[in-house]
Amino acid sequence: LDERPEAREHIFRSKLPDICIPYHMTLAEYCMEKALQWPDKVAIVDGNTGKALTYGELAVLSQRVAAGLMKLGVEKGGVIAVLLPNGCEFVAVFLGAAIRGAIVTTANPFYTPVELENQIRVASATMVVTHSSYVEKLRALDLQIITIDKHVDSCLHISVLFEADEEECPIVDIDPDDLVCLPFSSGTTGLPKGVMLTHKSLLSSVSQQVDGQIPNLYMTDEDFVMCVLPMYHIYSLNSIMLCGLRVGATLVTMPKFNLQLMLEIIQKYKVTVLPAVPPIVLAMAKNPIVLNYDLSSLRMMLSGAAPLGKELEDAFRARLPGAVIGQGYGMTEAGPVLAMSLAFAKMPFPVKSGSCGTVVRNSEVKIVDNDTGLSLTYNQPGEICIRGPQIMKGYLNNPEATAHTLDKDGWLHTGDIAFIDEDEEMFIVDRVKEIIKVKGFQVPPAELEALLISHDGILDAAVVPRKDEMSGEVPVAFIVQAAGFNLSEEDVKAFIAKQVVFYKKLHSVHFIDKIPVTPSGKILRKELRNKL
């Protein structure tokens, strides 16, 4: 009997050769390595205002931020929350913190005070950089607040960072396994957790996408990359911001999505790369106003963070045949990119609509049958597991959740069900985890269920996804009402709506007698989904 692991496991790899990843570098050094070659090139331009920052300016600004953070007492390993819309402030603070050896936790600025408090507490952040309009939401927390726009009482102003002396930029001994970023994700189950991403994780993920002789995601210093997806989400942070800087592209930022504005900006700046989520692909493929713009500069459209149907991909192709469309597949815990379409490679491969890509280089993927634990071969659906230098170190202060997701052999279990065909293309067909994806945003059912049962009139609750043409999925609740209460659907919706960010709002509420559970007490989510 052949006892070697490779004899027992079917492992999938990229069709491109592995590359040499410069693990010894820090993330900031790596992303700004070539900045000196093009100091006068624009690194970031605000698509609305035209305000621009060159690579040379960004390099100096991030050194100033590092110096300023040190002066303010932020130590190596200290955690800073960044609560900002897309723009040069986000990028400079992120890089500056990385140079300082600090860790950035990113969150949606539209989060409610309760959502923010949870994350800031779990992350042990001591400082937040934000816009003056969000300060009131943070007042109750014990935090040093820095505002990027106007001065606000008892807060510092961003000038303490941006006008610090770059000569005082600290030289910090950073290990590749030191943390640099702490995004939050609920993973396969439960509440949002801090995902420990190290310098090595993010650097590896960027390298797997854009480095080497035949990059998988071929972007160059001639590209103008649309940055409309929020930088606080790992997709934009990694595949737009960090990849864009690494190759010397110009990031064209927008603080929030607006189709018409985005089209104007693509036309005006001759944007070449458009990373998007399925609702944006839908708009590009179907909305008539798209036809009023000259979009001939667009050469590449990426979709990710949620499933993109084959029909939609084909509709986009028919409308904009000059642009290559394809998908990437990411998960915060996976650092984040697991697979990327080889249509984006420097030497592109033919690909099929509906595929979420081929596993990235320097990584292994296996597809596991969750009943038998065996790894499967071509065309057999099972849970995707990935192993490589890019995956997370674990969940912050949560060994139990970490052990549930990362096994002893170093495999990350994604909770996504997929098969891989003979051309090494991956197709996601289902999800065995709880998470609901609304326009690519995570909505953790456990969070909504906890809020629901905190209501005196609700005995038990379960939240599951319902398919939705515009958003992909939306959360809906099943409720067991307490005796003596007469709650309406609207009462329950309103109760949740005031406590959560807009995309977590409930779309419908169904009253039932009992939430179906397994003998061990786990909610039978599939049964509820089938009721819809």
Rule CB under 6 A: which residues touch ligand 4UW? 185, 234-235, 238-239, 275, 302, 304-307, 327-332, 336-337, 356, 414, 416, 428, 431, 437, 440, 442
Q: Are the beta carbons of 443 and 475 closer than 8 angstroms?
A: yes
Question: Is-contact 325 344, C-beta < 8 A?
Answer: no
Neighbours of 389 (CB within 10 A): 18
Residues whose CB falls within 8 Å of the CB of residue 239, separated by 6 or more in sequence, listed in order: 209, 217, 275, 302, 304, 328, 330, 337
164/302 with CB nearer ligand 4UW: 302
Rounded to whole angstroms, the Cα distance separating 366 from 381 reads 11
Which helix or strand (DSSP H or E) is residue 179 part of? strand 179-181
Distance CA 491, CA 183 (A): 32
Least separation in angstroms between residue 526's CB and ligand 4UW is: 16
Judge contact between 111 and 85, C-beta under 8 A: no
For residues 516 and 518, give the distance between their C-alpha atoms in angstroms, rounded to a whole number.
7
Q: Is-contact 221 251, C-beta < 8 A?
A: no
Shortest separation between residue 315's beta carbon and ligand 4UW, angstroms = 17
d(CA 392, CA 157): 33
Question: Cα separations (Å) of 245 from 54, 204, 237, 286, 517?
Answer: 11, 15, 11, 32, 48
Q: Which structure tokens are listed for 483?
A: 């005796």
Taking the complex as a whole, the smallest distance from the CB of residue 183 to ligand 4UW amounts, in Å, to 8
Please say whether the beta carbons of 192 and 106 come within 8 A: no
Q: Are 146 and 155 in contact (CB under 8 A)?
A: yes
**For residues 131 and 361, which CB has a smaller minimum distance to ligand 4UW in the complex?**
361
Spatial contact of 188 and 1, defined as CB atoms under 8 Å apart: no
What is the residue type of 457? G
φ, ψ of residue 402 in degrees (nearest 5)? -60, -45
**Shortest gap between Cβ of 413 and ligand 4UW (angstroms)?**
10
Nearest to 465 by CA among 456, 454, 455, 473: 473
